[in-house]
């Protein structure tokens, strides 16, 4: 005898899949259509790529919840009888119940992360758990242990809280409605849960944090925001006995910009040090690898700028999860996750022996690519207002009406004076400075007023970027050391010209820019003929 009525079977299959699909891919909406049939409410096309199925404002959300409840209740009545049912249908029932529990307890899950009504987080978690556990036992604890999976209630609660945290984090940190951004959200979701959420729930939640994530993209494209979305979405174990999460690690995220620190300071920040390990080490100090808990994340920004000796030490961490403080011989264990990012061409750096190939192959199992601002706006011009509104709210906190007014002013100015063909070479970082310029001076002078087909020489582009004030210090150093090396032809001569150590030239220069500057030297004679291999 079938567990589901014939008229409910297609909806049951669809509901069983909804809880395990990537919510930022079109398959989610396909399943919603199958589950609701004629009751499905079509909305704007972008919903097909980023459905806001996390709150009651999404029109299909209450319909899906009610449909899941109706099918689960009817199936439960069948299960209370002594009739045997196929294992496939029993697993479908479990999947529908888990989706129903998520949908029914969404407000309580939200309070676990954002406590309201004067509740502290622990009290909000305890209340949400008690209500959840009652519903879980009602649907899952059936006579004779008839369900095949025998889900653990505490683990199920932890996964559902993690799913909601991931939704909130991805929407908080990844802004926009264009297709490139929708694809980025889907990619980040896979970094958190893999492409198979059933496998994740069964086993990968214990070990997926051992896999590092490498974020690639141009400077200013929001790589740290992506890292935060991933880092703030880790699995945190729930302890049923204490009715609390085992580690209070919802905010255990440690960013470290490697290009902004000297190698000695990087080692101290990352690995910690022993008293007297070097001049200024007045006491023992734990680094981020040691402070990071099992659900925490260490974010290594500008990984391509990491000095070779530290690359070797980081490789050991990725291989064995073991490290030592500077000046110690005691092995310590890293428990968290590594997320790294760079705007450099690592393949070129490997060919130039500036980046270790074995380290790259430890980092490349999970790669996320961030789109440029130009790609976003080319796909969806509406993203300009969305992004500017996000930036004005951050620049003018606590004054939503003023932030909205400034956003309208900025967008109007950009549309009138900059136009649709501007390249936005500084990406989101440049857009933020544009907002600040218009807020303060009422105008903004772009770094270059060019169309995508216009071409500038490397030196012209550098001068334009400097004049526009959109280069950060790291990018300026990268451009200038590359030009000096191309002109002088050797690390030592370039270093003499710049009055810095030759190893700094080797570390900071960009081989692609060097090639461009060298090509220019052949046509305008500004460089020297002597080049170093």
455-486 pLDDT, tens digit per residue, is 455 666 677 567 556 567 877 888 889 888 88
Kindly state the average pLDDT of the residues 394-403.
Answer: 94
Q: What is the Cα–Cα distance from 27 to 126, expressed in whole angstroms?
A: 34
Joined together, the tokens standing for residue 356 give 């270790």
Q: What is the Cα–Cα distance from 295 to 430, expressed in whole angstroms?
A: 33
Q: What is the Cα–Cα distance from 217 to 184, expressed in whole angstroms?
A: 12
The confidence score (pLDDT) of residue 524 equals: 46
> Does residue 520 have a pLDDT over 70?
no
212-238 pLDDT, tens digit per residue, is 999 999 999 999 999 999 999 999 999
**Residues 230 and 339: beta-carbon distance below 8 Å:** yes
The confidence score (pLDDT) of residue 45 equals: 37
The confidence score (pLDDT) of residue 450 equals: 47
Joined together, the tokens standing for residue 25 give 């891919």
Kindly state the average pLDDT of the residues 497-507.
Answer: 88
The confidence score (pLDDT) of residue 263 equals: 86
Q: What is the Cα–Cα distance from 250 to 232, expressed in whole angstroms?
A: 6
Joined together, the tokens standing for residue 399 give 């004054």
Return the CATH fold of 223-369. Rossmann fold (3.40.50)
Stretch (H or E) spanning 216: strand 213-216
154-173 pLDDT, tens digit per residue, is 999 999 999 999 999 998 99
Instruction: Centre a 10 Å sphere on the Cβ of residue 229 and count the other Cβ atoms it contains.
Output: 26
Kindly state the average pLDDT of the residues 144-163.
Answer: 89
**Residues 215 and 226: beta-carbon distance below 8 Å:** yes
Q: How far out from the chain centre does Cα 72 lie?
A: 35
C-alpha pair distances (Å), 110 with each of 106, 121, 289:
6, 11, 30
Q: What is the mean pLDDT of the chain?
A: 86
> Does residue 516 have a pLDDT over 80?
no
- Say which residue the tokens 């939640």 belong to: 205
Among 40-44, 207-211, 363-367, name the one with the lowest average pLDDT: 40-44
Among 228-242, 278-292, 417-431, name the one with the lowest average pLDDT: 278-292
Joined together, the tokens standing for residue 430 give 């440049």
> Is residue 53 very low, low, confident or very high in pLDDT (cuts 50, 70, 90)?
very low
Strands 244-245 and 238-239: antiparallel
- H helices of 234-353, where? 263-271, 288-291, 308-320, 346-351
331-369 pLDDT, tens digit per residue, is 999 999 999 999 998 988 999 899 999 999 999 999 999
Joined together, the tokens standing for residue 299 give 């974010």
Domain boundaries, the chain: 6-173, 223-369, 373-441, 458-524
The confidence score (pLDDT) of residue 11 equals: 96
């Amino acid at each position: 005898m079938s567990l589901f009525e014939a008229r409910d079977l297609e909806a049951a299959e669809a509901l069983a899949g909804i809880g395990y699909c990537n919510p930022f891919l079109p398959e989610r909406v396909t399943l919603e259509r199958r589950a609701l049939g004629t009751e499905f409410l079509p909305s704007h096309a972008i919903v097909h790529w980023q459905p806001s199925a996390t709150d009651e404002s999404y029109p299909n959300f209450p319909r899906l919840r009610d449909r899941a409840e109706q099918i689960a209740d009817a199936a439960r009545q069948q299960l209370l009888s002594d009739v045997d049912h196929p294992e496939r249908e029993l697993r479908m029932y479990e999947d529908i119940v888990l989706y129903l529990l998520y949908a029914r307890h969404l407000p309580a899950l939200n309070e676990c992360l954002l406590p309201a009504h004067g509740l502290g987080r622990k009290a909000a978690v305890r209340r949400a758990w008690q209500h959840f556990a009652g519903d879980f036992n009602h649907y899952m604890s059936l006579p004779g242990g008839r369900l095949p999976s025998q889900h653990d209630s505490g683990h199920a609660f932890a996964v559902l809280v993690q799913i909601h945290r991931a939704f909130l984090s991805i929407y908080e940190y990844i802004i926009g409605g264009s297709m490139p951004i929708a694809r980025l959200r889907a990619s980040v979701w896979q970094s958190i849960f893999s492409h198979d959420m059933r496998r994740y729930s069964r086993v990968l939640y214990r070990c997926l944090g051992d896999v590092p994530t490498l974020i690639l993209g141009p400077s200013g494209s929001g790589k740290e925001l992506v890292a935060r979305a991933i880092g703030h979405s880790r699995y945190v174990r729930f302890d049923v006995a204490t009715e609390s999460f085992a580690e209070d690690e919802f905010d255990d995220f440690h960013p470290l910009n490697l290009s902004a620190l000297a190698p000695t300071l990087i080692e101290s920040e990352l690995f910690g040090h022993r008293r007297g390990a070097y001049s200024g080490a007045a006491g023992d100090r734990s680094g981020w690898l040691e402070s990071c808990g099992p659900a925490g994340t260490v974010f290594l920004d500008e990984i391509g700028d990491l000095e070779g000796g530290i690359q070797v030490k980081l490789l050991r961490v990725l291989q064995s999860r073991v490290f030592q403080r500077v000046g110690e011989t005691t092995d310590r264990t890293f428990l968290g996750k590594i997320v790294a990012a760079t705007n450099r061409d690592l393949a070129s750096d490997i060919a130039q022996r500036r980046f270790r190939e074995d380290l790259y192959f430890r980092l490349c199992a999970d790669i996320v690519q961030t789109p440029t601002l130009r790609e976003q706006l080319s796909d969806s011009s509406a993203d300009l207002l969305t992004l500017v509104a996000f930036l004005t709210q951050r620049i003018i906190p606590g004054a939503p009406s003023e932030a909205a007014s400034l956003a309208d002013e900025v967008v109007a100015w950009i549309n009138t004076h900059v136009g649709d063909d501007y390249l936005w070479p500084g990406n989101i970082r440049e857009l933020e400075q544009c907002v600040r310029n218009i807020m303060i001076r009422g105008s903004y002078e772009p770094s270059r007023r060019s169309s995508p087909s216009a071409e500038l020489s490397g030196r012209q582009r550098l001068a334009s970027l400097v004049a526009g004030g959109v280069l950060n210090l790291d990018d300026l150093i990268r451009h200038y050391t590359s030009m000096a090396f191309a002109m002088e032809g050797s690390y030592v001569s370039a270093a003499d010209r710049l009055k810095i150590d030759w190893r700094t030239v080797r570390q900071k220069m960009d081989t692609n820019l060097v090639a461009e500057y060298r090509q220019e030297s052949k046509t305008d004679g500004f460089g020297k003929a002597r080049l170093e291999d």
